[in-house]
Amino acid sequence: MAPIEAKPLGLRGALLLPLCALAIAIALPFVLRAFGLDFYLSLASRIVVYAIAATSLNLVLGYAGLVSFGHAAFFGLGAYVTAIMISEGVQSGPLHLAATIAVTALAALVIGAISLRTRGVYFIMITLAFAQMLFYLANSVKGYGGDEGLNIRARSLFSLGPYLLDLKNPLALYYVALAVLVIALVALARFAPSRFGRAVLALRDDDVRAEALGFPTYRYKLVVFVVAGALGGIAGALSVNLQGYVSPNALHWTQSGTLMVMVILGGVATVSGGLAGAAVLLLLQEVLATTTEHHEFWTGWVLLAVVLFARQGIVGLWTRRRAPSLS
């Protein structure tokens, strides 16, 4: 057998960095406390929550090559579902999770089934239009805060046997969000070189060819769209638990734009791109916000630099360029 596909995978090398990052993430709350920087835990949680949202968008945008400009629809919808349930007195975390997944997956199924019949600019516009429809809907529903948004007093509650996990506790929220992110990243890392993942990457390259070979491309795109929508919804549900508040802005197109910036900044179609992008963008905003009034101006320059000089995003800077392969 010729040593052709023997691509040096270096499992130990490949796992070293993620495991270190995970260890740091787990230790982070204690480190912050030791230095009296507890305040930053909420920033860390925000990074994790946005990392989940950006990762879900990366699945659609990066892996399936579908430029969805309405991903905030699912993020905001998930936030609203959970916030409304809590404001109606339902505190059960598992119920919040189930309802969030059900509603956002269904919304993604409907939006995807229609939008995926178009391509290119039309796809961008139609996904944007759907998200804006939800934005205006949230603005008009006065019973749930309308344009002022919805404040919640309680949070999602998970009972684990004798223990009660209340997401009101910042530490609990951080670890639950971290667990969701880890599951999402592991699943994404497994997905990319799997049969389904390769089929999706193939249709990103050329969906006419993929279809002609026998892949039901429309169905595959829809599956990806729905999974990403549900994951974006979960991120939204976590975000409302973090902030105790949701407003129509969570559904606004600028929110979709922020998620896109995170994906492009971090690395399109890379497992950790969403995480890297969320971390860098939110940290950048945090640092710049304390030093200058024009933080968006400087953030823009960083984005420009990344797009011009690091085509594969931040993640691409430290992964050496490999031979082209779908896996």
| Stretch of 76-84, 126-134, 192-200, 244-252 lying at the interface with another protein (CB under 8 A) | 192-200
159 binds another protein, rule: CB under 8 A: no
DSSP state of 275: H
- Identify which of residues 216 and 300 has a Cβ nearer to another protein in the complex: 216
Residues 6+ apart with CB under 8 A from 96: 81, 82, 85, 86, 90, 156, 237
**What is the separation, in whole angstroms, between the first and last Cα of the chain?**
20
Q: Which of 150, 143, 160 is CA-nearest to residue 241?
A: 150
118 binds another protein, rule: CB under 8 A: no
How many Å apart are CA 82 and CA 174, to the nearest integer?
17
211 binds another protein, rule: CB under 8 A: yes
- Identify which of residues 4 and 160 has a Cβ nearer to another protein in the complex: 4
4 binds another protein, rule: CB under 8 A: yes
Query: Shortest Cβ distance from residue 14 to another protein (Å)?
Result: 13
- Identify which of residues 2 and 160 has a Cβ nearer to another protein in the complex: 2
73 close to 111: Cβ distance less than 8 angstroms: yes
Which of 2, 11, 121, 308 is close enough to bind another protein by CB under 8 A?
2
Count of residues touching another protein (by CB under 8 A): 35
For 260, counting Cβ atoms within 10 Å of its Cβ (0-12 exposed, 13-18 middle, 19+ buried), the class is buried
Which of 97, 199, 240, 278 is close enough to bind another protein by CB under 8 A?
199
Q: Which of 33, 27, 255, 9 is CA-nearest to residue 138?
A: 255
Residues found near another protein in the complex (CB under 8 A): 2, 4-5, 7, 187, 190-191, 193-199, 201-202, 205-206, 208-217, 220, 223, 323-327
